[in-house]
Amino acid sequence: MKKPSGKLLIMLVLAGLAFGGFYISRKRPITVEIASYEKSVPIRVFGLGTVEARIVSKIGFKLSSSIIELNADEGQHVRKGDVLARLDASEQKARLARAKAGVLAARAALEGANSAILKARAVLAQKRRTNNRKKALFRKKTISAEAAEAAKLELDTALAEFRIAESSRLSARAALETALAQEELEKASLDQYVLKAPFDAIIVERHMELGTVVKAGEPLFTLVDPSSVWVLGHISENRSGLIAIGQSAKIRLRSRPHDLYDGKVVRIDIESDRVTEERRVYISCKDCRKKFNLGEQAEVYITTAILDRGLLVPENAVDDFDERRMKGTVWIVKDGKLRRQPVTFGHRTLDARLSIRSGLPENAKVLKKLPRLLREGRSAKIRQEAKS
């Protein structure tokens, strides 16, 4: 019997390999991994941000002069009312002294006006008595009419002088009030040469040094209220729709990457950034206040929902995913066969998984990994996960 040639053997081997490859890729059941339902799944959104403060103030003097005293420096804690700096106030002190002298002069003028009133009142009373006597004598024809008229004229003159004295007293009172007001004004102006802390704060920056001539309104210190420190997170608009005030959050600071701090959403800006298409979200962080650096980079994770029970599939196991409509196609196992199934998704997790909301047939199993050689209608065998 004739032995088969080498060429024929090679062809037979190739044919066997081709049949084996066809069987493996088309006929043999493929082993797949399926997604299972999970409980209490947190849905979070991620954003980058910075440490900021709600109350940051740049304070300075209302007037111009040279700095003669500085009592605070960067990083120092100050209390409300603490004196931070003083300006040279020699000219203002002189103006205040002049105002005080004006008050003394006005008081003396008022005392003089009061004395003049007493004198005018006494003269008026005496002239009134004299006039009354002269009237009685004139009725008895004891004195002439000219003498009676002279007494009446003296009474009228005394009355006019009394009224002039009263007017002088009113003028003296007004002058005293003006002098007192000027004194208060000069005192208030002198107070402006002293810079005090408007609230309990930390000095962020001191902008000038001793001896510098400051201009009115020029900032000398930058203060921050440590109780107002929060984290400003920038969240992409397509992930921010479910964010609400009061939601819990986690914060990680760049300087302390191993620590995760608790926070809460306290403010959401009404206006988004038109360039970056991000929403600004402010998160309180009590633990961040202990040692903070304004402007430090931070990562924020906001919990927008918690799924009581959800079926989640990785994004890379979804075909034709439409992020705007939250639709896509998954591979499922139904009655032992593979098939493609359009579904609608609900939420997306930070680890790139999608929760299936609707569209899944009853008793269908969803593939969480897509092996090679997938084909609709092919038999599938579900891999059993090892029990721990």
pLDDT for 146-179, tens place per residue? 888 888 888 889 889 989 989 999 999 999 999 9
207 and 82, same domain (yes or no): yes
302 and 313, same domain (yes or no): no
229 and 219, same domain (yes or no): no
- 103-149 pLDDT tens trace: 999 999 999 999 998 998 899 899 889 888 888 888 887 888 888 88
Q: Within a domain: residue 8?
A: no
213 and 263, same domain (yes or no): no
Report residue 386's pLDDT band, with 50, 70 and 90 as the boundaries.
very low
76 and 212, same domain (yes or no): yes
375 and 292, same domain (yes or no): no
- 204-252 pLDDT tens trace: 999 999 999 999 999 999 999 999 999 999 999 988 888 999 999 999 9
- Check whether 20 has a pLDDT greater than 50: yes
Strand pairing report for 380-382 and 30-32: parallel
% of the chain residues with pLDDT over 70: 92
CA 97 to mean position of chain CA atoms: 44
Please report the pLDDT score of residue 77 as a whole number. 94
105 and 177, same domain (yes or no): yes
64 and 124, same domain (yes or no): no
Q: Within a domain: residue 262?
A: yes
Report residue 6's pLDDT band, with 50, 70 and 90 as the boundaries.
low
Please report the pLDDT score of residue 250 as a whole number. 94
Please report the pLDDT score of residue 299 as a whole number. 95
Q: Within a domain: residue 334?
A: yes
Q: What is the CA radius of gyration of the chain?
A: 47
Q: Within a domain: residue 15?
A: no
State the average pLDDT over residues 338-353. 91
CA distances for 252 relative to 54, 138, 244, 286, angstroms: 20, 110, 20, 13
Report residue 5's pLDDT band, with 50, 70 and 90 as the boundaries.
low
Write out the residue range of the structural domain in which residue 255 sits. 46-54+225-306
Report residue 373's pLDDT band, with 50, 70 and 90 as the boundaries.
confident
Number of domains the chain is built from? 4
- For 22-82, strand residue ranges (E) read 30-32, 37-53, 56-60, 65-70, 77-78
Question: Residues 281, 300: contact at Cβ < 8 Å?
Answer: yes
- pTM of the predicted model, to two decimals? 0.69
Rounded Cα distance, 212 and 384, in Å: 79
Which of 262, 235, 260, 254 lies closest to 292 in space, CA to CA?
A: 254
Rounded Cα distance, 384 and 34, in Å: 9
Q: Within a domain: residue 238?
A: yes
280 and 138, same domain (yes or no): no
Last residue of a domain, one of 274, 306, 338: 306
